[in-house]
Structure 1
């Protein structure tokens, strides 16, 4: 996915349940790398939530593939 293929979705527009479900789904994806130390699911969710709320990351939706991911912000 490149920058022109996605639409940024503000996390604030999601219901609390949808936001939590999105975080849980993302951290459970195969191959997600969180560094040298293995973290608990709760710790991964906390890190991801913090990155989104501090605007260090954004939710990116690709209309063509109807998929989403989280990308780092510059």
Structure 2
């Protein structure tokens, strides 16, 4: 199920983005980017519709996935 980011309280969205970013715990880029910048970048991807929030009720987990991946999973309407 897709959860529109606009439906989440700001504090919940912030925590979700931070948890997603820090999940792997490693930064492989040429230069390290601070957490606030990564959160802002991910939020912009949500706003542009490139990334969506997916909730799996069976597993009770939430994740962020690329829109095309959500489409391939049959989660997107239209």
- Interval of TM-score (by shorter of Structure 1 and Structure 2): 0.7 to 0.9
Match of 1:73 in 2: 67
Report the secondary structure of 2:15's partner residue: helix
Query: As a proportion of its length, which structure holds more helix?
Result: 2
How many Å apart are 1:23 and its aligned residue?
A: 1.0
Superposition misfits of 4+ residues, deviation over 2 angstroms:
31-38
Counterpart mapping for 1:4-15 below 5 A: 7-15=1-9
The answer to which of 58-67 and 29-38 deviates more is 29-38
Is 1:38 the counterpart of 2:28? The answer is no
Report the secondary structure of 2:63's partner residue: strand
Is 1:19 the counterpart of 2:32? The answer is no
- Structure 1 length as normaliser, TM-score? 0.78
- Structure 2 length as normaliser, TM-score? 0.74
Structure whose alpha-carbon radius of gyration is higher = 2
- Give the number of equivalent residue pairs: 68
Report the secondary structure of 1:58's partner residue: strand
